[in-house]
Amino acid sequence: MKKIFLFLCFFSLFSCVGYEPLFSTKKLSYYIESIENVNNDSITKKISKNLDNNKIKKNNKKGYMLEISSIKNNVVTSRNSKGQVSTYEMTLGVNVKVFDNNTNLLIDKLRFNKKFSYNNQVNKFNLNQYKKNIMKGMINKISEDITIKLQLL
């Protein structure tokens, strides 16, 4: 029994030796030369900040210039019998135009949409904090999706 336990401990300690982050800049086949925020709002700024890690310039990598715009909607989806709001749906849409760094030609138009439904809360401070956390998660997910799509171009 002790031998099995020691084997499992030994195996679990050394199984993480070759760990690398999924979106490591070493493995990317591109770099981002510049990012233009069309709306100049907080959402596009946060996405740009998330993508800043990909600005490491290498000689053998493709260079891209990005134009990012975003739209955020918060819609009432249902009301209770008294007419008070019971659920909302937050929608975040991001459009990315990808240009070649050398020729300035449009390569692709990428579109990302995320939706999240949530219940209304009596405490409005907690509701606002919850909405901020939802938005942060949606922005991080869209940033990861952009990284993956650019890798596939």
- In the chain, the number of structural domains is 1
Q: Is residue 58 part of a domain?
A: yes
Predicted confidence band at 34 (pLDDT cuts at 50, 70, 90)?
confident
Domain containing 107 — which CATH number? 3.30.160.150
Q: What pLDDT score was predicted for residue 53?
A: 74
Task: Tell me what pLDDT residue 153 has.
Answer: 79
Angle, helix 124-152 to helix 42-51, in steps of 10 degrees: 50
CB-CB contact of 30 with 56 (8 Å) = no
The reply to whether the predicted model has a pTM over 0.85 is no
pLDDT(116) > 90: yes
Quickly list H helices, 22-123.
42-51
The predicted-structure confidence for 41-82, as pLDDT tens digits, reads as follows: 889 889 988 888 776 666 667 888 899 999 999 999 999 999
Q: What is the number of H-type helices and E-type strands within the chain?
A: 3, 4
Q: What is the reported pLDDT for 25? A: 46
User: What integer pLDDT is reported at residue 110 of this predicted model?
Assistant: 92
pLDDT for res 62: 81
In this structure, is residue 102 part of a structural domain? yes
Task: Kindly state whether residue 17 falls inside one of the protein's structural domains.
Answer: no
Which ranges of the chain does DSSP label H, i.e. alpha helix? 2-14, 42-51, 124-152
Full residue range of the structural domain in which residue 65 is found:
23-152
